[in-house]
C-alpha cells in the first residue's frame, strides 16, 4: 500500500440530492483508492441537507447528515457545493472561500449569474474554484478549455449541452415521434427538470453557453447576453424537411468570435435550434448524450463527447475536481485565477452571420417564385437553394411549399426579408425559419 500522508483533508458536501448522494457514496466506498491517488486522507465531515429524513439513493449514513450548512463549511478543507440555484449556494460558497477552503461546484446557474463575484473572491484568497461538472456533466470540457487550449485561439464552439432536448429532437428525427410524444417520454424517463421550461426554452443551455464562452474567449460573458430560443416551436414538419434535405435539427449552444461592426472582434453567444449537416460529428450525437465541438485556429476541430447528465456521471466530474483540488491543496500554492484577459466586446445577436432555411407556404400561381426571390434580393440575402414541393389544396386555390436555403446573411437582413415575405400577397405563411450551422 502506498504511504498516506499524515494529513487528513476534510471534505464538506452541501446538498444531498442525486449528485450529492452519489458523490458522498463514491467518496466513502472508494475512499482507499482515492486517498492513495491523492496521497492523504479524505474525510467526509458531513453532508448538509434540508431534510435529513428524506429517502436518498444511494443512502447517506445518518451520522453524516446535518441541516447546518454554515457550520459545516467552517473548518473544511474542500467544500463541494451541490445545492443548485442561487441562494443559499452563493452565500455558502463565499463563506467557504473566506474560511480558506477550496470549492468545487456543479452549479451552472450560480456560475453563469454570479461567476465574477465568486472568481474574484477565490483569486483574492488564493483558493481553487473548480467546476468541471457544471457543463456537460462527466465530459471533461472545462479543463481542456481552461488549460489544454489556453495557448490557442478558439474561433467557435458548437455544443449540444442539454440532454433532454437532444433526446426529444433525436426521437422526433429517428423514430418519427411528435413533439408531444417525445416530451412525454422524456418526462417519464426523468430527463426533464421539474420545471421543463428550463430545458425546452433553452435556459439551461444558455447558462452553459455563457460559461463556455467565458472560458473560450477569456472574457466574462453574462448569461443575459446569451440570445436564447428553445425547441418548442420546432415541429415534426421541420424535422422531416431537414431530414429530406440531409440535415438534423439540434438545439445548439454557440459561442463565436465575429467581426464587430465597430471594427476589431467581439463575441456572440446564442442558443437556438439549428440544422446540422448529417455528416457533421454533432449529427451523430443521439439520445441524451452531450457533445462540444470546438473550432480552434491552431488545433483545428476537436470534439468532446459523452453522457451529459445523470447522478453518477456528474459525480465523476465532481470527484475529479476533488482529487485535483486535494492534490494541489497538499502541494501548496494558491489556485490559478480565471483569465478574462481578452475582455472582448460582447456583441448584439445581430452581429451574427449565418445561413437559414426558410419554409414558405405560397400560392401556386405564376410569378410567385419571382416575388419570393425579389424579397430576398431586396434585403441583400442571397439564395443558395430553392426547392418547391407539389401543390396541394383545392384546385381553385392550390398551395405549394417552398424551401429556401440562404447563403450567409445577417440576422437583421433575414428579419427584414421575413417581414417582406409576410407582406407579400403570394406568400400564405412563413412556416418556419431555422438557422443552419456546422458548415
Task: Identify any residues that bridge with 406 across adjacent strands, giving them in sequence order.
Answer: 383
For 430, the grid coordinates are 412563413
CA 26 to chain centre: 26
CA 26 to CA 322: how far, in whole Å? 12
Catalytic residue among 10, 108, 171, 208, which? 208
Residue 34 sits in the site that holds a second copy (CB under 8 A): yes
Task: Identify any residues that bridge with 258 across adjacent strands, giving them in sequence order.
Answer: 266
Residue 399 sits in the site that holds a second copy (CB under 8 A): no
Nearest of 153, 434, 158 to residue 280 by alpha carbon: 158
Given 322, 346, 363, 436, the residue binding a second copy (CB under 8 A): 322
- Least Å distance, CB 427 to a second copy, is 40
In the residue annotation, 10 being an active-site residue is answered as: no
Q: Please identify which residue in the block is written with the cell numbers 491517488.
A: 37
Residues 252-311 within binding reach of a second copy (CB under 8 A): 281, 284, 296, 298-307, 310
Given 12, 92, 318, 346, the residue binding a second copy (CB under 8 A): 318
Nearest of 90, 119, 108, 106 to residue 341 by alpha carbon: 119
Cα 68 to Cα 22, 30, 32, 73: the distances in Å are 20, 26, 28, 9
DSSP state of 201: T
305 or 349: whose CB is closer to a second copy? Answer: 305
CA 210 to CA 225: how far, in whole Å? 8
CA 172 to CA 239: how far, in whole Å? 7
If DSSP codes are grouped into helix, strand and coil, which group holds residue 434?
strand
Q: Which stretch binds a second copy (CB under 8 A): 48-56, 110-118, 151-159, 195-203?
A: 151-159
10 or 328: whose CB is closer to a second copy? Answer: 328
Residue 31 sits in the site that holds a second copy (CB under 8 A): no
If DSSP codes are grouped into helix, strand and coil, which group holds residue 315?
helix
DSSP state of 277: E
Given 51, 120, 147, 378, the residue binding a second copy (CB under 8 A): 147
Contact string 93-122 vs a second copy (x = CB under 8 A): ------------------------------
- Least Å distance, CB 388 to a second copy, is 34
Contact string 327-366 vs a second copy (x = CB under 8 A): xx--xxxxxx--x-xxx-----------------------
Helix and strand numbers, DSSP H then E, in the chain:
14, 17
215 or 421: whose CB is closer to a second copy? Answer: 215
Mind telling me the catalytic residues?
208
Instruction: Give the binding site for a second copy (CB under 8 A).
Output: 2, 22, 26, 30, 33-34, 36-37, 39, 126, 132, 138-140, 142-144, 147-153, 218, 281, 284, 296, 298-307, 310, 312-313, 315-324, 327-328, 331-336, 339, 341-343
Amino acid at each position: 500500500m502506498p504511504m498516506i500522508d499524515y494529513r487528513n483533508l476534510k471534505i464538506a458536501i452541501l446538498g444531498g440530492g442525486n449528485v450529492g448522494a452519489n458523490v458522498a457514496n463514491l467518496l466513502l466506498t472508494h475512499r482507499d483508492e482515492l486517498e492513495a491517488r491523492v496521497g492523504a486522507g479524505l474525510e467526509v465531515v458531513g453532508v448538509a441537507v434540508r431534510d435529513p429524513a428524506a429517502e436518498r439513493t444511494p443512502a447517506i449514513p445518518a451520522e453524516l447528515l446535518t441541516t447546518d450548512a454554515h457550520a459545516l463549511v467552517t473548518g473544511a478543507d474542500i467544500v463541494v457545493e451541490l445545492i443548485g440555484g442561487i441562494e443559499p449556494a452563493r452565500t455558502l460558497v463565499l463563506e467557504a472561500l473566506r474560511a480558506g477552503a477550496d470549492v468545487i461546484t456543479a452549479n451552472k446557474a450560480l456560475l453563469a449569474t454570479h461567476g465574477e463575484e465568486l472568481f474574484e473572491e477565490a483569486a483574492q484568497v488564493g483558493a481553487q474554484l473548480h467546476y468541471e461538472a457544471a457543463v456537460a456533466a462527466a465530459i471533461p470540457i472545462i479543463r481542456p478549455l481552461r488549460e489544454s487550449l489556453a495557448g490557442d485561439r478558439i474561433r467557435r464552439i458548437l455544443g449540444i449541452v442539454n440532454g433532454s432536448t437532444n433526446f426529444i429532437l433525436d426521437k422526433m428525427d429517428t423514430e418519427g415521434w411528435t413533439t408531444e410524444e417525445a416530451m412525454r417520454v422524456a418526462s417519464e424517463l426523468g430527463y426533464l427538470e421539474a420545471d421543463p421550461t428550463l430545458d425546452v426554452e433553452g435556459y439551461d443551455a444558455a447558462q452553459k453557453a455563457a460559461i463556455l464562452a467565458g472560458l473560450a474567449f477569456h472574457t466574462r460573458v453574462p448569461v443575459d447576453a446569451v440570445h436564447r430560443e428553445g425547441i418548442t416551436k420546432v415541429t415534426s414538419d421541420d424535422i422531416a424537411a431537414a431530414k429530406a434535405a440531409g440535415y438534423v435539427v439540434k438545439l445548439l449552444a454557440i459561442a463565436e468570435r465575429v467581426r464587430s461592426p465597430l471594427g476589431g472582434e467581439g463575441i456572440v453567444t446564442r442558443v437556438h435550434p439549428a440544422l446540422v449537416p448529417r455528416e457533421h460529428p454533432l449529427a451523430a450525437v443521439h439520445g441524451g448524450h452531450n457533445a462540444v465541438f470546438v473550432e480552434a485556429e491552431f488545433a483545428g476541430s476537436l470534439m468532446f463527447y459523452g453522457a451529459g447528465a445523470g447522478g453518477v456521471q456528474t459525480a465523476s466530474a465532481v470527484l475529479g475536481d476533488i482529487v485535483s483540488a486535494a492534490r494541489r491543496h497538499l502541494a501548496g500554492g494558491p489556485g490559478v485565477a480565471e483569465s478574462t484577459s481578452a475582455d472582448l466586446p460582447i456583441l448584439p445577436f445581430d452581429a451574427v452571420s449565418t445561413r437559414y432555411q426558410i419554409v414558405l407556404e405560397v400560392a401556386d400561381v405564376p410569378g410567385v417564385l419571382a416575388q419570393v426571390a425579389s424579397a430576398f434580393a431586396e434585403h441583400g440575402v442571397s439564395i443558395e437553394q430553392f426547392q418547391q414541393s407539389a401543390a396541394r389544396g383545392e384546385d381553385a386555390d392550390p398551395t405549394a411549399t417552398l424551401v429556401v436555403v440562404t447563403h450567409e446573411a445577417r440576422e437583421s437582413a433575414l428579419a427584414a426579408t421575413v417581414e417582406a415575405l409576410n407582406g407579400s400577397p403570394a406568400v400564405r405563411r412563413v412556416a418556419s425559419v431555422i438557422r443552419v450551422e456546422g458548415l
